[in-house]
Amino acid sequence: MTTEPLAASIAVGAEALGQDLSSAEIGQLTTLLSELQRWGERVNLTAIREPHKMVSAHVLDSLSIRPFIEGRRVIDVGTGAGFPGLPLAIVEPKIEFELLDSNGKKISFVNHIIGQLGLSNAKTLKARAQDYAPGKRFDTVIARALASTAKLLQMAGHLVREDGVLLALKGKHPAAELAAIDHIPGWDYSVTELTVPGLESHARHVIQLRKRAAA
């Protein structure tokens, strides 16, 4: 597969997001998609298998939440084939990323990419979020299309440190989900609409969930 068109598409999309990527970062993101397609011929990693659709649906969608990341310790819960964690780890080498998923085949792919790209700031964990009890919690917890917001707080809320943020990536505006968490004590939220190049016809939103300061 020729990678030059993929690289060009990533560069143009990132520029539309207001992000100036280096040639090395673009090269790593291109390798990620090439390997995702190659592995996808043997292992079911993602429903989207056409490389140019992967640019928007995986890479650019992942990079769209880059401005919302806080702190230096981030966990991607339910990372699947490594999204959004892998693209973010590529473009934010000074931030430590943990990529968590209970699917062994997907974690194997993520480990393969981490090794191939030499991502010293990323590591994996094969576990369920609700069972993970790290000694130190995270500045930012990310979950993309993993569960309802209320369920997500049950699964991963304990991973967010005080003053940290949980970023839940959604499609259409999650009004019903937000109404359901109004009765969950201890959390405040805000919603931001995202514009992802190539996905303009698909609604994208991010919910920022914060632990409410103790009185």
List, for residues 88-136, the tens digit of each pLDDT value: 999 999 999 999 999 999 999 999 999 999 999 999 999 999 999 999 9
0.85 surpassed by pTM: yes
pLDDT at site 40: 84
pLDDT for 213 beyond 90: no
Amino acid occupying residue 193: E
Amino acid occupying residue 47: A
Options 3.40.50.150, 3.30.43.10, 3.40.50.300, 3.40.50.2300; CATH of 57-211: 3.40.50.150
Of 48-62, 96-110, 158-172, the poorest mean pLDDT is in 48-62
CB 100 within 8 A of CB 84: no
Domain range summary for the chain, segments of one domain joined by +: 57-211
Query: What is the secondary structure of 78-133 as a DSSP string?
Result: T-TTTTTHHHHHHH-TTSEEEEEES-HHHHHHHHHHHHHHT-TTEEEEES-GGG--
